[in-house]
Amino acid sequence: MSEQFNKAVVCRVGDEEFGFPIEQVIAIEKPQTITPVPKTPEHILGITKIRGAVTPILDLRTYLLNQHSEADERNRIILVQIEDTNVGLLVDHAYDVLDIPQDKVESVNIAENEFTKSMNVVKMEDRLILLPDIQYMLTEMDAHLFQKLKEVV
């Protein structure tokens, strides 16, 4: 029997590695000028134009790690589609498309933590890659934030 693989775009946010299913990723772009939108949470950086469409930008470092992002030439925006809305995810560095063996993926079980339903982890030889279900996180866990993102555009 052949081994099952999933492809994921791997990026760094802070000291952690995250992976997003290739099927959800539309593009990886260099950050452009981001226009702030008044009265939005601090992890919504604002909007920018990506491939001709106005796109809200979510700072993953602030959203997931409660840390402020630092501008760097390696920063990237991972453009994903969530429901019918494109969202740009600002990451510190996007650097790999990885074949992830299904048998290396495990669920994270942290008592009383909402991320339990939305996070898997890949245990590879010398690294751990977190696989957040960004669609679940935004549409279920943080529906208010997702509504704000939709309102921004």
- CATH code for the domain of 19: 2.40.50.180
DSSP symbol at 3: P
Give me Rg for the CA atoms of the chain.
Answer: 15
Mapped onto helix, strand or coil, the DSSP state of residue 109 is coil
Residue 74 φ then ψ, to 5°: -90, -10
The predicted model gives 110-138 an average pLDDT of 74
Instruction: Report the domain count for the chain.
Output: 1
d(Cα 96, Cα 84) in Å, to the nearest integer?
26
Bigger pLDDT: 117 or 92?
92
What's residue 70's pLDDT? Answer: 78
Q: 32 lies in which domain range? A: 5-152
What's residue 91's pLDDT? Answer: 95
d(Cα 10, Cα 89) in Å, to the nearest integer?
13
**What is the percent of the chain where pLDDT is above 70?**
83
Report the relative pairing of strands 85-91 and 53-59 from DSSP bridges: parallel
What's residue 33's pLDDT? Answer: 92
**What is the percent of the chain where pLDDT is above 90?**
31
Of 74-78, 97-101, 114-118, where does the model show the most confidence?
74-78
The predicted model gives 56-70 an average pLDDT of 86
What's residue 6's pLDDT? Answer: 85
